[in-house]
Amino acid sequence: MSSAIEKNQQYTLTFEDLTHDGAGVGKIDGFPVFVPNALPGERGQVKIIKVKKGYAFGRLLQLDEESPDRVEAPCPIYKQCGGCQLQHMSYEGQLKAKHKQVVEVLARIGKINDVTVHQVLGMKDPWRYRNKAQVPVADREGGLVAGFYQKRSHDIIDMQQCLIQQSTNDEVVQVVRSICEKYGVRAYDEASHRGVLRHIMARYGAVTGETMVVLVTRTADLPHKKKIVEEIVAALPQVKSVVQNVNTKRTNVIFGDETRVLWGEEYIYDYIGDIKFAISARSFYQVNPEQTKVLYDKALEYANLSAEDSVIDAYCGIGTISLFLAQQAKHVYGVEIVPEAIEDAKRNAELNGLAERVTFEVGEAEAVIPNWYKQGVGADVIVVDPPRKGCDEALLQTIIDMKPKRVVYVSCNPATLARDLRVLEDGGFKTVEVQPVDMFPHTTHCEVVAKLELK
């Protein structure tokens, strides 16, 4: 099939679709070609740059027909940076594309065609939403630069501001970078595994305004530590916490095992709705709190709880959904594999006066929940919010065995959601409705909440 398509050849292509990472998809005699920066409904000249067995990659040379959804990306480094994929598409267009993706994936992978998929719940203002910036640092001729990696590389693009980042975090990153530069702190170099500063991280409480600065270093020793901290605190009055995390390993994982508070508190606080959360340097906390509230309100609506209901929250994290549910349910049982997250969940339950109504346990959902089931813990409603790979088979089987009245499935990956819904449907549940929520405008990610009822 692919022999007809040759590298370096030029073709005219009509684009019909988007890939999961935002490239346009066109076909030459039925053979798919993926082309970044092209939108569905457009036609253009493409140069083939790589041919694989079942598909090819192309570069857009010129557009002959433009989509009405095409816009000029407002970010000056959008084309180089790998942080967003859809800034060249109008926000309405993005929401339509995400809705289409969810509908098609449910039909193709889950064979679910007869369910209501609501229009995507988007943001009124889809910019400046991220409350956490973790920015790698590099040495350049002029000193330290901080920015995101260029697409498909580990070269850092110097970035003064990011349009999907809370502006407070942009300011924090730049101020901290210049203070570290002033004191001669060298950036970490991946190739030689030398240097000190690996990442600058800023966390911001959207409701409280509290800010945390985290310096991720290769060495336990941070030169001129006292002076650096003093200057950060003087320059940024909103900062409540300055933390150092030490990561001595050769790895692209951001955090190491050791975290120490250099100044201020170990936690900052923020709210989602009425629930207060303590956030440490390494806490998992949703990066778009405004849309998280939209997502959890929908999950709560789908759970349709009475004061007598018991709920199991698989993959409970720091207790975000559990605590929302505990306001209405009799009792919520939460399970999570990360011990620190369970510590955070217990602390957050105390913080909100809900400790009596929740039970949190560390472990794999697929091991802990069957164990609870054996001990006689039933559930009227089961809520799952798994990682991108979806639910474990053993957990799905336990849900089928436990026969709750309702299952609420919160997903960050429509493909694994569709696969798991198929299993639950075959096991006696019916998918009633599906609500996509745009948690990450200008990227290809889409969160989805699905409501299932026992047949």
Give the domain CATH number at 13.
Answer: 2.40.50.140
120 and 202 in a single domain? The answer is no
pTM of model > 0.85: yes
Q: Report the chain's mean pLDDT, rounded to a whole number.
A: 95
In this prediction, residues 18-39 reach a mean pLDDT of: 94
174 and 264 in a single domain? The answer is yes
56 and 107 in a single domain? The answer is no
d(CA 328, CA 300): 9
Helix axes 91-110, 414-426, angle to 10 degrees: 40
441 and 333 in a single domain? The answer is yes
Over the stretch 104-156, which tens digit does the pLDDT of each residue have?
999 999 999 999 999 999 999 999 999 999 999 999 987 899 988 887 788 88
447 and 318 in a single domain? The answer is yes
Residue 259 belongs to some domain of the structure: yes
Note the pLDDT of residue 175.
Answer: 97
Amino acid type, 323:
L
379 and 412 in a single domain? The answer is yes
Q: Are 335 and 316 in contact (CB under 8 A)?
A: yes
Kindly tell me if the per-residue pLDDT of 432 is higher than 80: yes
219 and 335 in a single domain? The answer is no
Note the pLDDT of residue 433.
Answer: 98
Residues annotated as catalytic are 412
243 and 297 in a single domain? The answer is no
| pLDDT bracket for residue 352 (50, 70, 90) | very high
d(CA 42, CA 67): 5
Count of CB atoms situated within 10 Å of the CB of 11: 17
| pLDDT bracket for residue 1 (50, 70, 90) | very low
Share of the chain above pLDDT 70, in %: 99
Please state, in angstroms and as integers, the Cα–Cα distance from residue 229 to each residue in 98, 237, 242, 249, 400, following that order: 43, 12, 7, 24, 54
Residue 281 belongs to some domain of the structure: no
Task: List the CATH number of the domain containing 255.
Answer: 2.40.50.1070
394 and 309 in a single domain? The answer is yes
10 and 150 in a single domain? The answer is no
Residue 201 belongs to some domain of the structure: yes
| pLDDT bracket for residue 20 (50, 70, 90) | confident
Of 43, 65, 87, the one marking the end of a domain is 65
Residue 91 belongs to some domain of the structure: no
Of 213, 238, 272, the one marking the end of a domain is 272
| pLDDT bracket for residue 2 (50, 70, 90) | very low
Please state, in angstroms and as integers, the Cα–Cα distance from residue 32 to each residue in 26, 54, 105, following that order: 6, 8, 18
Burial state string for 232-265 with b = 16 or more CB within 10 A and e = fewer than 16: bbeebeebbbbbbbbbeeeeeeebbeebeebbbe
Kindly tell me if the per-residue pLDDT of 288 is higher than 80: yes
Note the pLDDT of residue 83.
Answer: 86
Nearest of 208, 211, 112 to residue 171 by alpha carbon: 211
* Domains: count for the chain: 3
**What are 189's two structure tokens?**
């170099």
In this prediction, residues 333-349 reach a mean pLDDT of: 95
Note the pLDDT of residue 3.
Answer: 55
d(CA 303, CA 76): 43
166 and 113 in a single domain? The answer is no
Over the stretch 239-259, which tens digit does the pLDDT of each residue have?
999 999 999 999 989 999 999
d(CA 290, CA 126): 11
Q: Worst-scoring range by mean pLDDT, 148-157, 203-212, 231-240, 358-367? A: 148-157
331 and 299 in a single domain? The answer is yes
Residue 87 belongs to some domain of the structure: no
In this prediction, residues 381-408 reach a mean pLDDT of: 96
| pLDDT bracket for residue 158 (50, 70, 90) | confident
Note the pLDDT of residue 74.
Answer: 96
Task: List the CATH number of the domain containing 120.
Answer: 3.40.50.150
Residue 83 belongs to some domain of the structure: no
**Residue 320 belongs to domain spanning:** 96-124+286-454
